[in-house]
Each structure stands twice: as C-alpha cells, then as structure tokens.
Structure 1
Amino acid sequence: MNSKLPDRPSGPRRNRHGRGRRGPLIPMHLPAYRSRPERFDDAVMASAQRLAQRWPGKIEKIEFLIDPVPSDKLLDQASALGERVPLASSVPAGARSPARIIIYRLPIEQIAENTGELLDLVHQCVVHEVAQLWMKPISEVDPSYFPEDPDF
C-alpha cells in the first residue's frame, strides 16, 4: 500500500482546529513591535545619521556593524590589560575594504539602565570610534559630545 500524503499549504501554521497565529500579536505602532536587536540597530543608525549631518560624505564611507558580543580575542586582550569588556571596536579601511565600526549590543544593553542611557552610550561609542579612525579629537567629531567618563 503506497499512499502519498497531500501537500500542506505553505503559509502561517495553524493548529488542527484552524486556530493559531493569524498576524502580528502587537500592532505596528506600539514600541514592543520591534525587537530589542532591531531597536538597537535603529539607535546605531540614528547615531550615524546624526554624524552624517555634520560630516556629509565621510560617514557614508564607514561600514557600521553590530555584533552581540566581542570576539574571544578582544575579550582576552581586555582581560590581559585589566580593562573592561569592549563596547565597540574599529577597523581602518584597507585597500579593498571600507573602514568598519563594530558596536557590541549585549555589553551596552547590560550597562544602560534605560532607553535614553542606551541611546547615549551607543552615540558615545560611535563618536569615540569615528574619532579613533580619523585620528581627530572627540570634540571635533561631535562638539555636543561630553562623556562623563574621561577614560572612555
């Protein structure tokens, strides 16, 4: 007896009673609609756009990446030097690759106590890394930048 099961329709999965997910659980206009990683991505993009207004044409040449945590190599280096977990890092432009700034999401989210502080920390990381890439003082990259920690 050789029977073939009918093809199941692709699309949202429903249970055997015809119930189940029918659409988004949270309306799009509510803040919880976007996940934490998506909101973090938005914060990095907002910071980059803020700098792009001051430095048109230069910020666009930098590639912004977001990783959950720093690599083991970076963590080992920070540990050996007695430093805290890196919040961001940068890689200068190469012959065939653009300059890159990598922002580490989880360490920043753990430090920030609220959304406003998270936005400030993200912007501080972006400004600090841009200043390192361009070898300019932080105050020149973003004059409105006033870090509370001078050892940032």
Structure 2
Amino acid sequence: MNSKVPNQPSGPRRNRHGRGRRGPLLPMHLPAYRGRQERFDDAVMASAQRLSERWPQKIELIDFLIEPVPSDTLINQAQAVGDRIPLASSVAATASERAKIIIFRLPIEQIADSPGELLDLVHQCVVHEVSQLWVKPINEIDPSYFPDDPDYE
C-alpha cells in the first residue's frame, strides 16, 4: 500500500504557506550583511594586503590562518610566564612548509570596543608576528602605522 498522500509536494516544505524566505534580510552592500567571522577574515586579509604593498614577495610566502581560540598548549605557556591569552602566533617556515601566522578571533573580538579598534588590533597582531618571523623591528615592518617610537620595537 502506498503511504504517500496524493497532490502533496515531494520536496522539502518551506513553511505552512509554502513560501519561506524570499531573499536576503539585508542588502549585500550593507556592512551588516557579512557575519562577524567574515568581517574578521576581511580584517586579516586587509592587513596582509597592506603589508604586501611594502613587502610583495615576502608576504606571499606566509600563510595567514584564523582560529577561534589558541590551543591549550599556547594558553598554558602564556600562563606559565604570566602573560595574557595570546592574540596571535607564528610558525617559522621549514624546508617542507611555509611560514604561518595564526590570528585568534575570539580573544581579539573580546577586547576590541569598536570595529575600528578591531581593525587596529588585527593589524598590530599581524605586524607583530611578521616582525617575529623576520626578526625585524615592528616600525620597520610598517613604518606608516608604527612610527619611530621606542615602545614599538
């Protein structure tokens, strides 16, 4: 015996009126259209792009990764020396792997008070990690953002 009801659509039901969502809730050109994670990804990529204007060949050799939070190992290492939770980390290149900079999204989002401050924090983290990888002063990596100030060396 066939248990299917005749004249019943076989596809998934949208809602009781059969319409469902008709389009995006926000237009694509508004900033709120993109989610938090996507905006954070954009901030990291904008920072890398900014550095690639000054260091085009060298920045291309670095992979930029975004993780929600640091690993337990990194947190434990920071706590052991009395540091705060890391906002970023870097791994030097090896013979078989490219250099990596890992930016931790949630700790940065928690301390940023505004979207502009989030962009600044992300760029500071990226520049700091590039500085660590290349063993160069921070103000040399991005002198327009970090002027000749002894606090940034």
Cα pair distance change 1:56/1:151, threshold 3 Å: closer
Query: Partner amino acid for 1:9?
Result: G
| Cα distance in 2 for residues equivalent to 1:73 and 1:151 | 27
Identity of aligned residues (%): 73
Match of 1:58 in 2: 58
Cα deviation digits, residues 112-134 of structure 1 (max 9, x gap): 11011110100000000001001
Q: Secondary structure at the match of 2:65?
A: strand
Relative to structure 1, the CA distance from residue 18 to residue 2 in structure 2 (aligned partners, 3 Å threshold; closer, same or farther) is closer
Report if aligned partners of 1:88, 1:104 keep a CA contact under 8 Å in 2: yes
Name the SS for the 2:63 alignment partner.
strand
Cα RMSD of the aligned pairs, angstroms, is 2.3
For residues 27 and 133 of structure 1, what CA distance do their matches in structure 2 show? 41
SS at match of 2:48: helix
Does the alignment pair 1:124 with 2:124? yes
For residues 58-86 of structure 1, give each alpha carbon's deviation from its aligned partner in whole angstroms, at most 9, with x where no partner exists. 10110000001101111111111110010
5 Å matches for 1:3-152?
A: 3=3, 8-9=10-11, 14-146=14-146, 150=151
Structure 1 moving runs of 4+ over 6 Å: none
The CA deviation string for residues 75-104 of structure 1, in whole angstroms up to 9 with x for no partner, is: 111111110010000000111111000000
Equivalenced residue count is 150
Q: Which amino acid in the other structure matches residue 49 of structure 2? A: Q
**Is contact 2:65-2:102 (8 Å) kept?**
yes
Q: Given the two structures, how large is their TM-score scaled by the length of structure 2?
A: 0.89
Tell me, what secondary structure is at the counterpart of 1:58? helix
C-alpha separation in 1, matches of 2:10 and 2:35 = 30
In structure 1, the gaps of 5 or more residues are none
Q: Which of 15-24 and 129-138 deviates more?
A: 15-24
SS in 1 for 2:66: strand
- With normalisation by structure 1, the TM-score equals 0.89
Give, in whole Å, the separation in 2 of the partners of 1:74 and 1:8: 51
How many Å apart are 1:151 and its aligned residue? 8.1
Distance 1:96 1:4, change over 3 A: farther
